[in-house]
Chains A and B, each alone.
Chain A
Amino acid sequence: MIQAVRLRKHYGQTKAVDDLSFVVRPGRVTGFLGPNGAGKSTTMRMILGLDTPTGGDVTIDGKYYSELKQPLRKVGALLDAKWVHPNRSARAHLKWMAVSNKIPVSRVNEVLEIVGLTEVAHKKAGGFSLGMSQRLGIAGALLGDPEVLLFDEPVNGLDPEGILWIRQFMHRLADEGRTVFVSSHLLSEMAQTAQDLIVIGKGKLISQTTTEQFIADATQDHVRVRSPHALKLREILVAHATVTEDAVDGALVVHGIPAQQIGEIAAENQIVLHELSPQRGSLEEAFMQLTKESVEYHAH
């Protein structure tokens, strides 16, 4: 279990992480979601003791990372797949890590096998593709057979096959009872990977909930209605629902009642309809809506 309590990290005036509290539970994949620059990586670095918090603290099963005797046996992390010396072979990279935590060197071959890098184990890591580097990073995270796993944007730059592999892999790790904490800036990705979500924006907690709940809350259904008697229809509908107008084509956008009921109301009042279409809000739209206020850089 990872627990953050009022975690803060300030760089001068910039509040990279601000008063962030959350809990990551074992046996589930927890997504750490937020736009770029929201403070996800900074938070992960603080969990791992690489960065010192300005205030508050974050612990793993009640202990600071720096208090762990053989940390790789407790926590496995993939923060950046590029953290490998380009002239060092994949095997040598994993070997020094294993030795540092008294993990049997035979485990190196095991994890290489798990991530499918056995054949290139003796090759220089500098020549690896991004996908191979990610796999090497994951091998490093798995080395100590840890209970807690952290992945920072693990699917970045992966092909669809690699993405699917990582997704299934994280589910397997969680099913084995491990704590899996994975960050992403893509809600669509997290929707398929994570069971729980911690959503942050500009370093602040926006929401901590199950993915299901988050999506249900975020993507409200609505119905698009077009009618030559739009004004009249609108007057009738406001008694039953919230009605707004589509800025582009002037269609009515009705929240709160299903399409079926709108049709019945229209029929009762003998109003002709040209369109009656139920819409489901897109996940990305909802996410953007939610984090709009907290995106650091906007495109205009």
Chain B
Amino acid sequence: MTLLAVERIKLFSTRSPYWCAALAIAMAVGFSALLAANAETVSVDLTQAGSRLALVVVLVLGALAVTTEYRFGTIRATFLAVPNRTSALVAKTAVVAVVAGVIGEVVAFGSWAMAKVIKPSADLAINSGAEWRNVAGVGLMFAIGAVLAVAVGILVRQTAGAVAILLVWSMLLENLVGIIPKVGVKIQAWLPFMNADHFLAVNPPSQAESEAAGAVVYKLSQWGSLGYYAGIAIALLVVALVVAKRRDA
């Protein structure tokens, strides 16, 4: 608990988390407003279209939480105060994940509410389980993404490098893999951010439909996809913790 309090003080006594949170929320909610204003029909999952943009900002927040510590040497001050590096870094990851989760919920419900305000006539009632997962699940997706971002931050230690890796990976690389003939979509079924998207989908096509369309055929259930995405993030974090423990600070 002490360490969580420490990391909370550290995170909130700098400005970048506030900026990142504000930017993430503004981008997603703004995107939702644009879509709602221009689309003929607005559905619940359309209101969430901007969450992927916000995720990118949250990934940056997660990476910055670590890389700025390396940049300014405060990570050494941290390890002096808490020689058990693993618990210090796990506490940091937990705090960042919770903050990311909260941002995710604000993004999701904020985007939904914005669409409702702009198109009051649209049927935006969240009534099916799939729709609840689509909206409320954004927080979970962000929290796990933050864990992954912190892990990359610990491994890379430099802001520019960590942010570049996270942006290219989440925005570009996973989509580009699909271009590879034949095996591309098969690989995509096992990529973490693709699985995160699969988890959030309201009406994912059935395996047969995907196969017929040459799209990604997910082998996991939607919750299974979330578990897989989380598993990748945690595995990466474990690697990062082992490296941080061995490395000279």
Contact = CB atoms under 8 A, between A and B. Distances in A.
B84 interface: yes
Given A52-B246, A100-B2, 7 more contacts: A52-B248, A65-B83, A66-B84, A71-B80, A85-B13, A85-B14, A97-B77
Interface residues of B, number: 27
Contacts of A102: 2
Contact of A85 (B2, B68, B76, B83): B68
A100 B74 CA distance: 13
Interface stretch (B3-11, B132-140, B170-178, B201-209): B3-11
Contacts of A93: 13
A67 B84 CA distance: 9
B72 to A, nearest CB: 5
A77 B80 CA distance: 8
Given A85-B14, A100-B3, A72 B83 contact: no
A67 B83 CA distance: 8
A72 B13 contact: no
Contact of B80 (A48, A52, A89): A48
B82 A79 contact: no
B72 A99 contact: no
A204 interface: no
Interface in B140-186: none
B248 A99 contact: no
Contact of A45 (B74, B81, B248): B248
Contacts of A95: 9, 13
B72 A86 contact: yes
A48 B14 CA distance: 26
A87 interface: yes
A36 B97 CA distance: 43
Contacts of A177: none
B5 A87 contact: no
Nearest to A75: B80
Contacts of A67: 83
Contacts of A96: 6, 9-10, 13, 81
Nearest to A86: B72
28 contacts: A49-B79, A50-B76, A50-B79, A50-B248, A51-B248, A52-B246, A52-B248, A66-B83, A66-B84, A79-B76, A82-B72, A82-B73, A83-B73, A83-B74, A83-B77, A84-B72, A84-B73, A84-B74, A84-B77, A85-B72, A86-B72, A87-B14, A88-B13, A92-B9, A97-B77, A100-B2, A100-B82, A102-B2
